[in-house]
Amino acid sequence: MNLFSSEFWQESRVLLVLVALAPALGGATGIRNALWLSGLTLLAIIGAGLVNVALKGVITPGARTPFTIVVTITLISLFQIYLSIVDSALLEELGIYLPLITVNILVLRQSVLFEAEDVSREFRGSIWLGFKFALLLIFIGGLRELFLTGEITGAEVFARDISFFGEPGGFLIVLGALVALYKAVFSGSAADREVS
């Protein structure tokens, strides 16, 4: 089963971090949620990578993606059971966005990454991508928390109600503006070639 064969993914590979945001964006409504989601995604990337490296040659390439999915969802389900015992409020906050880590492109990518000669380089590269994803998600979580509550980790920043920008509709406009700003600032640079 080759999930990365279509033209769509060939085109979008340079935008991996942005695409990886898709499953987590809705859940990152605050810094706390974003920290948990990004941390768990990073752990899932490392876990899926290690499992795929360890079982290289044992599992056929065609079965690697389903295998990675099953391993990741099992680990996440175990973590959900653990959270339901120790912190059910957090489990409720993360909701469906926790199992959605399984279909994160950065996690699934681990199943096709280790065909290359230099496995260590690929592994370091994917951890670095995961780290960039985590930083971006925490930034987005912080921004949404600021818009929704007017506070950042309890410290009041805005006295007025600007929750509109934290709601899905308003935040999509904010996100669009941020990507536009990024393109404008890095116009003509390597970053521009990545986005356009």
Partner 1 sequence: MGELLYILLGGVFWNNIVLTHLLGLTPFLVERKSSLQKTAGMGFMTTILLIAAALFTFIIYDVILVPLGLTYLNNLVLILLLLVLVIFMQMRPQNSPRERAWHFYLPDVFFNTAVFGMLLLQVAEWETLVEAVVSAAGVGLGFAILLIIVDSINNRVEKLPVPEWLKGVPIQLIILGILALAVSGFDGI
Site of interaction with partner 1 (CB under 8 A): 1-9, 11-12, 15, 18-19, 21-23, 25-26, 66, 69-70, 73-74, 76-77, 80-81, 96, 99-100, 102-103, 105, 108, 168-177, 179-181, 183-184, 187, 195-196
Q: Look at phi and psi of residue 116 and say left if phi exceeds 0, alpha if psi is from -120 to 50, else beta.
A: beta
State in angstroms the smallest separation of the CB of 100 from partner 1: 6
Q: Which is nearer to partner 1, 21 or 138 (CB)?
A: 21
Q: Which is nearer to partner 1, 119 or 142 (CB)?
A: 142
Q: Which is nearer to partner 1, 97 or 123 (CB)?
A: 97
> What kind and span of H or E run contains 177?
helix 168-185
How many angstroms separate the CA atoms of 75 and 89, rounded?
20
Q: What is the dihedral of CA 140, 44, 118, 17, to 10 degrees?
A: -20
Neighbours of 79 (CB within 10 A): 18
- 2 CA to centre of own chain: 21
State in angstroms the smallest separation of the CB of 96 from partner 1: 4
How many angstroms separate the CA atoms of 73 and 127, rounded?
19
State in angstroms the smallest separation of the CB of 75 from partner 1: 11
State in angstroms the smallest separation of the CB of 39 from partner 1: 19
Q: Which is nearer to partner 1, 119 or 174 (CB)?
A: 174
Q: Which is nearer to partner 1, 91 or 119 (CB)?
A: 91
State in angstroms the smallest separation of the CB of 195 from partner 1: 7
Q: Which is nearer to partner 1, 61 or 66 (CB)?
A: 66
99 HSE (CA, 13 A, CB side): 10
Per-residue CA distances from 148 to 107, 144, 161, 168 (Å): 29, 6, 8, 11
